[in-house]
Structure 1
Amino acid sequence: MEQIKQNKMGIAPIPKLIVSMSLPAMFSMLVQALYNIIDSMFVAQLGESALTSVSLAFPVQTLMIAVAVGTGIGINSLVSRRLGERRREEASRAATHGLLLAIFSSLVFALLGLTLTQTFFQAFTDNQTVLQMGCDYTYVVTIFSFGMMIEIGLEKTLQATGNMIYPMLFQLSGAVINIILDPIFIFGKFGVPALGVRGAAVATVIGQIASMVFAVVVIIVKKHEVHISFRNFKFKWRTVKEIYAVGFPSIIMQSIMAFLVTMLNTILISFSEAAVSVLGVYYKLQSFVFMPVFGLTHGVLPIIGYNYGAGNKKRLLSALRLGTLIAACIMTVGTVLFLAIPDKLLMIFNASPQMLEIGVPALRIISICFIPAAVDILFSTFFQGVGMGFKSLIVSIMRQLVVILPAAYLLSKIGLGYTWYAFPIAEVVSLVLGGIFFWTTYRSKIRNLRPISD
């Protein structure tokens, strides 16, 4: 039991543990959300075409983040389970494989960005201004994606050991640098030429690379429970398979978001560019509500994974219950804000009268889904923590493909204002399915869980 006793995830009181592990991630995610909003505020000052171009680029960025975070979740789940099983060498091997996977992923996106960016934007618009701005932005963020990929991989590795402070500092450093550089590169200050939308992308990748450098230095200089090392390293496909057993479903889940936004943009562009801008602004605003919940899951996931590996059913379920309660409280606050002041939220982005007309009812309708989404997100975290990422994938496919897109398409035939009801409809269906999956998983894997022997 020595290893379990030494790791706080096996012995600390669950409420204190969740707070201590989640608060740093929640804080850094709030800063990330603030960056997303400030970035779009600056871009909006360039005009509605600039805002539309960045909104159309959003699915590409979402796809990159999906691969980075999904791979990271796979690393996190595997490392935390191996630590719970007292197999530190295998945990370190998983972390080293994770770094290689991050580097490989960045090379793939650089190639795709160079070859497919213009074709992607031509599929949505023949407005040459929007097309040029979108390409300028996307070329930069894809070609230089290595900063984000590597930083997220290292961040998830440290979170798996219970270290939440350094991952918070990694994210904070990148976001703060990004916020500072945005107006400098977008509008041209201190001798830097005004780069417009491309400047927003340059500021983004500089922040990501700076964050990556910080993470690499910490990994090399500081002592951690796992060690990334290529000395006597042997690449093993089995380890990659174990990472992606959880990571690949997570990648698909988050990639579905990119596909969802792309398809929703296709539906909304038939009404107006303003409708596309409203959807883009919504995703920026909702990040301020959802990001703290995702930060919460960063703390809850390794606790669930560790205690599942250690066979501690009581602590596993306590972490899930408390995490769900906290997430629901956060989402309740978000719902109240979206219902009470949608116009003020939209005016943060210099919303035109047409955007206000479309966006005020849209934000109010979509916010109905926030509280059910809190439970859905924690169900997904639970499935990932116990190594059953495929169930998370099924629930997400129901939310973001099987239900929401057909519902949005059919409701759009009635009118633009009805399209937004697809969000709460999909979330409720997902909640029911997630509950069924949780109960079957509990009966098969959790109910008879026993602590591992010495």
Structure 2
Amino acid sequence: MKTQVNLGKDSVFSLVLHLAIPTMIANFVNVLYNIVDRMFIGNIPKVGGLALAGAGVCGPIVTLLTSFGSLIGLGGSILFSMRLGEGRKKEAETILSNSFLMLAAVSAVLTFLFLILKNKLLMWFGASAVTFPYANTYMTIYTLGTFFALMAVGLNYFITCQGFASVSMVTVLIGAVSNIILDPIFIFVFRMGVAGAAVATVLSQMFSCLFALSFLFGRRVSVRITFGNYSSSLMRRIIHLGISPFLIMATDSIIMIVLNSSLQRYGGPAEGDLLITAGTIIQSYMLIITSTMLGISSGTQAILSYNYGAKQADRIKQAEKYILMLCLIFTSVMFLISRLLPAYFARIFTSDPSQIRMAVWGIHVCTLSIIPLSFQYAFVDGLTALGCTRAALTLSMFRKGSYVIFVLALPAFLGAKNAFYAEPLCDILGSAAATISFFLIFQKHLDRRMHEVPPPLRNDSPMKTV
């Protein structure tokens, strides 16, 4: 397999596979950060169930923190790819320089804020008096490693969009494999419990971060990290492009927080912690599906952005078709697996029969509409890659808003566990809205781009390869 590809000339189908498959694998493996932690935490003697519920409360907050890496990394890499497609290497270099500074600054601010607010956040987001100590321990240690998490996530986009999808995958694999090795050592050998899981995760993210930094400072890439040429207007442009995928990821965290709060409120002392423990297992399973599908749709955005910059409409259409096809194949396979094997997945986390039964039932419910969800991911991320951030954000917020309404209304009228039906209902509505909107917007947007007059090149020569 080639380590680098030409986004403007290679076969579109081979490009989609070359970028999508490593990113799918990388995102799937990245989910192991959460799953491996939860698996070992759930098997801590005597307190595994309560510790797992505490870690489950932390999960959405962890996702919210790392989504800031995508705000800058994905927003910057979309603009970066467009400039490479236009042959503007110097401008692409400036975008990477500004993105690097933003990642460092945002990670420092978030570390400070979350350390101050974490106690209140954990109680608001579903921790009980019993599970709070476990959640607080995990969250405190994880927050101290925010810099490594954001850098690893954000910089990896700039590796992918320069055609090094396999290197991007290695960045994630380094962290995941390290986490798998370190978790049992810190949790059981050193007897650190939940604290050990958090320490293992932070160290693993540090290894990923160092690898990404060494690669982007090295000589293999066409555009390396530099310092200087900082621009507030360029930073605003990066945020403008990244705000849609950021809010998509951030609201994923928010709706998990709303779900946990709803389960705790309507489940009460009798069922609240049980439902959150089962919900943590269900959310881990859904993360495998959504993160891997996000690998397809976001990992291939560089193809769309580059060819949008190069005004190659036919290649954009071909790529979008293949991206949707891959999403549909993946979700169809996962739908069948979800009907047959969820009990085996649940047993990884717990041996409690009641928790297993609840988790299996919830997985069956939450995966009812994952096949239509393919259209949501392919079309919304496709619009984002072409710079249609307002439309993409509106479609995403429609789906997430529907989820929040369902997750609050269903348990109030039908009982706590029926909150899990919010997932398939919002997936159906969101996918229908995304499909209709995409076909109304896509062709018109391409036509406008094809008739644009490009500005003159400034101190740069056209890029022949990426």
TM-score tier after normalising by the smaller chain length: over 0.9
Contact 2:126/2:261, CA 8 A, preserved across alignment: no
Per-residue CA deviation, residues 291-313 of structure 1 (Å, 9 max, x unaligned), is 32222224310000011111111
For 2:292 and 2:187, how far apart are their aligned partners in 1?
A: 28
- Aligned 8 A contact 2:54 2:127 in 1: no
Give the superposition deviation at 1:128: 4.0
| Corresponding residue for residue 409 of structure 1 | 408
Which segment is superposed worse, 436-445 or 162-171? 436-445
CA contact (8 A) 2:98 2:229 kept: no
SS in structure 2 of the partner of residue 136 of structure 1: helix
Amino acid paired to 2:37? D
Cα distance 1:240–1:156, how it changes in 2: closer, same or farther (>3 A)? same
> Following the alignment from structure 1 to structure 2, what is the Cα–Cα distance between the partners of residues 125 and 429?
27
Distance in 2 between the 1:34 and 1:256 partners?
Answer: 21
CA distance in 1, matches of 2:217, 2:87: 23
Q: In the TM superposition, what is the alpha-carbon distance from 1:129 to its structure 2 partner?
A: 4.1
Equivalent position of 1:3 in the other structure: none
1:224 and 2:221 matched = yes
- Alpha-carbon shift at residue 363 of structure 1 (Å): 1.0
The residue matched to 1:224 in structure 2 has which SS? coil
Quick one: distance in 1 between partners of 2:226 and 2:177? 30
Query: Could you tell me whether the CA contact under 8 Å between 2:275 and 2:417 is conserved in 1?
Result: no
Equivalent position SS for 1:221: coil
Q: 1:258 aligns with which of 237, 245, 253?
A: 253
Cα distance in 2 for residues equivalent to 1:433 and 1:275: 31
Tell me which moved more, 301-310 or 365-374: 365-374
| Contact preservation (8 Å) 2:34, 2:59 | no
Deviation at 1:178, TM superposition (A): 1.0
- Give the letter aligned to residue 317 of structure 2: L
Residues 79 and 161 in structure 1, CA contact (< 8 A), matched pair in contact too: no
Q: What residue is the counterpart of 2:172 in the other structure?
A: 171
Q: Do the aligned residues in 1 keep the contact of 2:383 with 2:442 (CA within 8 Å)?
A: no
Quote how far apart the aligned CAs of 1:123 are. Answer: 2.9
- Deviation at residue 421 of structure 1 after TM alignment: 1.9
Contact 2:97 2:229 in 1 (8 A): no
Tell me how far apart the structure 2 counterparts of residues 286 and 11 of structure 1 sit (CA, whole Å): 36
Question: Partners in 2 of 1:146 and 1:109 — Cα distance?
Answer: 9
Contact 2:125 2:258 in 1 (8 A): no
- Match for 2:92: what amino acid? A
Aligned counterpart, 2:459: none
TM-aligned CA distance change 1:194 to 1:219, over 3 Å: same
Residues 126 and 287 of structure 1: is their aligned pair in 2 closer, same or farther, counting only changes over 3 Å?
closer
Matched-pair contact (CA < 8 Å) for 1:173–1:210: yes
Point out the more displaced range, 71-80 or 431-440: 431-440
Q: What fraction of aligned residue pairs are identical, expressed as a percent? A: 25
| Aligned residues: CA RMSD | 1.9
Pairing of 1:48-59 with structure 2 (within 5 A): 48-59=49-60
What secondary structure does 2:369 align onto? Answer: helix
- CA deviation after TM superposition for structure 1 residue 287, in Å: 2.3
Could you tell me which amino acid in structure 2 is paired with residue 69 of structure 1? S
Distance 1:378 1:308 in 2: 16
Shift of residue 36, structure 1, vs aligned partner: 2.9
Show the 5 A alignment for 1:34-45: 34-45=32-43
- Whole-angstrom CA distance in 2 between matches of 1:114 and 1:410: 33
Look up the equivalent residue of 1:389 and give its one-letter code.
T
1:377 aligns with 2:415: no
Secondary structure at the counterpart of residue 349 of structure 2? coil
- Are the counterparts in 2 of residues 186 and 200 from structure 1 also a CA contact under 8 Å? yes
1:108 lines up with 2:106 in the alignment: no
Q: Distance in 2 between matches of 1:438 and 1:34?
A: 33
Structure 1 partner of 2:195: 198
CA distance in 1: counterparts of 2:151 and 2:94, whole angstroms: 16
User: In structure 2, what residue type is equivalent to 1:255?
Assistant: A
Q: Which runs of 5+ in 1 are unaligned?
A: 1-5
For the 8 Å contact 1:109–1:143, the answer to whether it is kept is no
For 2:356 and 2:326, locate their aligned partners in 1 and report how far apart those are by CA, in whole Å: 32
Amino acid paired to 1:241 = R
Q: 2:370 is paired with a residue of what secondary structure? A: helix
Report SS of the residue matched to 2:199: helix
Which residue of structure 2 aligns with residue 431 of structure 1?
A: 431
State the TM-score, normalizing by the size of structure 2: 0.90
Whether the 8 Å contact between 1:15 and 1:322 is mirrored in structure 2 is yes
CA-to-aligned-CA distance 1:8-62 (integer Å, 9 cap, x gap) = 1111111111111222222222222334322211010121110000000111101
When normalised by structure 1's length, the TM-score is: 0.93
Amino acid of the structure 1 residue aligned with 2:147: F
In the alignment, what sits opposite 2:6? 8
Which whole-Å CA distance do the structure 2 matches of 1:437 and 1:427 have between them? 15
Aligned residues: 442
TM-superposed CA distance for 1:181, in Å, is 0.4
Inter-partner Cα distance in structure 1 for 2:90 and 2:125: 49
**Could you report, residue by residue, the CA deviation over 1:416-440 in whole angstroms, capped at 9, with x for unpaired residues?**
3432221111111111211232123
Instruction: Tell me how far apart the structure 1 counterparts of residues 121 and 144 of structure 2 sit (CA, whole Å).
Output: 15
